[in-house]
A and B are shown apart, each in its own frame.
Chain A
Amino acid sequence: MNAADLKKVDEIIDGYRGQEGVLIQLLLDLQSELHWIPREVIDHLSERLRVPTSQIYRIASFYKAINLSPVGRHMIQVCMGTACQVRGAQKVLDYTASRLNIRPEETTPDLAFSLRKVNCLGCCSMGPVLTVDDEYHGGVTLERVKKILKKRS
């Protein structure tokens, strides 16, 4: 981690000074800055907050939204909620995975894409739903998946 990153990490930690129970919020904020939580950040957090590394790992590994390994430039999430499921989400997931040649929860070797299953995005009316970074795509067909991936690779 370079000095600039470290400074940012410290700034984020300072923002929560004096508050109780903020570890999860801190990890989320750090992640939105760094996209994932590297080992050094956990060590640094442990020192600053005086919380054992093991405890931070326990929390970071329990919550799905926290990435403990690097993620791709584009994060693809396929919603596996019930409404999407009955409208063919599994096919969308299988197809996306086979196109990217990775399994769900993995990242392509060139770090271009990460693929993730997500339990419900709350867009149940327009299932199956797939998101690329902040963009939502509803009523996704396999053809659409192909186009979405092509546009970004």
Chain B
Amino acid sequence: MRDQLLHEVDELVSRMIEGLLTDEERQRLNRLLSDFPDAVKCYQELLDNHEALCAIYPGDLYESLNSVEATLTPVTQSNSHVNVESHQGRLRGIAIVASLASVVALLLLSIIPTLLSSDDKMIATVTDLSGSHAWTGDRGEIVRDISVGTQLAGGTIEGMAPDSWFELQFNDGSKITIAGISVLTFSDDGQKILRLREGQLTADVNPQPKDRPMLVHTRTALMEVVGTRFDVQSALASTTLNVSEGRVRIRRLSDGSEVDVPENHLVVADGENRLVPAPVPHSVYKWVSDFESKPDNYGKWKPASPNRPASVKAISLIPEDAPHVTLHLAGLSVSRSDGATVVVKPGARFVVRGRIETETPVYFGIRVNDPDGEFAGMFRGDLQEDQPPVRRSEAGEFTETYEVAAFSVDPAVWDKRHKLASRPDHMVLDGVWAFTHSGSPSGLEIIEVQLLPPEVE
């Protein structure tokens, strides 16, 4: 019964989107929505997807807008038989619509040159990248085969996996980098405007015009940048700004409070704490993951229960360069609540504790930055093809150790190794991930990842 009902909603919504609904079907749709909460849910789901499709491919809308004028003409010509009042009302409506159509037309005309010139005027060049990305241009065009040297006119770049990394250089030499699961929209029409929806951004900004500073938007804050070097981490409820050189003004959106953050200081803009810059703490050499609260991760977070600690469960990932392969991967960003940077010392080791359903190799990788915050490389802690299966306890748990001394350059960045660090030693830890490649889901869950310095036994 329920399936039949929802199938009917599917059909009515699809016909509604296509403008094919009859009067009878309109009434039926209204009745279904009125009587069945599931129908409302189904309706909103389909229409949310339709709206998202329109956002990805806006052609449908512009075709419709173009057809407004055509649809008005026959209406004005066919109304001679209706009564005067409704005719006048209709004409008033048409006049309003026509005026409004012209406003839209004017608006579109006013921006068309900008849109057209944005195609001609490339604002930035891809200077390096690795991992899976998708770029969406201003008009919804989606490009996945981005390569070094590709020139872009603005749009949205999305890092699709924990090992994704993307560097862009604006025409004035300013550089921005996103790493891991990140979504960044950028534009430059005389003023650089960035919107970091989620993830991590590193920027090295050349001096900008004082009246047109670079603007960096996140969900919770707005930053004005005249020329400096800084990192931004954007989460759902907070933004962390770490300034390594120069000065950045940040405004918290929830209350409008502003503060200037000087170099070697950081500030967290959230709804709980005062907006006060604090000195960047010294580096630490020991780190342990914290899954008690929902972390920034790739995978499914499972909160703690009375019998089990919190964990992140691996989810499937299809590598860009190997579409026939399905990995099951869990990853997380490395950060500390006090803002200290975590440095990998020579001779350190990573200890990964987790659960798994089958005894299969668990591969492990890390992403590191140099002390200035620039991407420095990715490394694998496992033995790749020679990695032995993990040994699981009766409870299905395992503990695996990966010695930093044995780390090797991740194959994903092998062709760029001459530009990156050859070893992770002394680099700042930015992200870690673990995955299996057993041909089917392994049930891999990460309970804890630790970085232990060499002196800790």
The judgment on whether A and B are partners is no
On B, residues with C-beta under 8 Å from A are: none
Q: Report A's interface with B, CB cutoff 8 A.
A: none
